[in-house]
Structure 1
Amino acid sequence: MENRSFYNEILTEHNLRPAHKHDLADANLVLEGVNPSCGDHLWLKLKVEDGVIRDGAFVGEGCAISQASADIMLDLVIGKETEEALELAKRFFGMIQGTATEMDLEELEDAAALQDVAHMPARVKCAVLGWRTLEEGVG
């Protein structure tokens, strides 16, 4: 794995300048995700047509990890078929559980920056909030 400062830069960038944190007026799938243990709360807004996630955004509040993870997730799933997005979610959950292969990590691209969260049990729910919301709403 590359050095941790590189991964910290990825998370910081997605937290400070999220590309997908805005409203999406033409979303046809709006999903609520809540982490009651820490107060993270987001609305995942997707435009899904013909089984493809054409666009996506999120609004809400939470810690840096939950916000960066949701932004990274949207980078990965926009333009993908819903089945592909669910496969990425499966890989992400595997990474958090410590069972990801090198291929999984490559497929996850920037989301692999969250791999160390697996060693911080209190932060796991933060990292998976957007992904679980996607899985529950699209799956």
Structure 2
Amino acid sequence: MSLDDLYRRVIMDHYQQPRNRGRIEDGAVTVDLNNPTCGDRISVQMRVKDDTIKEAKFLGEGCSISLASASMMTEAVKGLSVDQALQLVDLFSRMMQGEDVDTEEFPLEDIEALQGVAKFPARIKCATLAWKALEKGAKGPTDDR
């Protein structure tokens, strides 16, 4: 099996069996974004306490890359400080722009599977949509932070 095949399987696994899909009841930061060029819509929620992301979930409709990326992102940021999560957003964004990044810095190895998306500029917005929502929510006001 080639590396590309393995990456496709990882993406499809997160798409077909998304982690953290759902809603957080009460006290969550919520950011809704959409990608009008392809119709992807995502709602990312996170509960931040003591400057740490205690919980992250998402709901949305879209392509396999968009939803798999949201699943991976919510897994990766749980337990991180807000600053660490923002650093992760920056790292992921640079990877999507085709920069060489140290994928060892990702707390979830599955994220590396999205590296090939950089070869398809039209799909970069799909992969980064949930990450942009996380960034917007992390930079916005939160209770208990």
TM score, norm. by length of structure 2: 0.89
- Say which SS state the counterpart of residue 21 (structure 1) adopts: coil
Where does structure 2 lack aligned partners over 5 or more consecutive residues? 140-145
Count matched residues: 136
* Distance across 2 between alignment mates of 1:60 and 1:99: 28
Q: Report how far residue 27 of structure 1 moved.
A: 4.4
The root-mean-square deviation of aligned C-alpha atoms, in Å, is 1.2
Determine what percentage of the aligned residue pairs are the same residue.
38
Q: Report how far residue 73 of structure 1 moved.
A: 0.5
**1:107 aligned residue:** 105
- Say which SS state the counterpart of residue 73 (structure 2) adopts: helix
Q: Which has the higher contact order (CA 8 A, sep 6+)?
A: 2
TM score, norm. by length of structure 1: 0.93
* Equivalent position amino acid for 1:131 in 2: W
**1:17 aligned residue:** 17
| Contact preservation (8 Å) 2:98, 2:119 | no
Where does structure 1 lack aligned partners over 5 or more consecutive residues? none
**1:118 aligned residue:** 118
* Distance across 1 between alignment mates of 2:100 and 2:27: 32
Instruction: List, as ranges, runs of 4+ consecutive aligned residues in structure 1 with deviation greater than 3 Å.
Output: none
Q: Deviations over 1:96-117 (max 9, x none)?
A: 112133x2x1222211111111
**2:83 aligned residue:** 83
**2:71 aligned residue:** 71
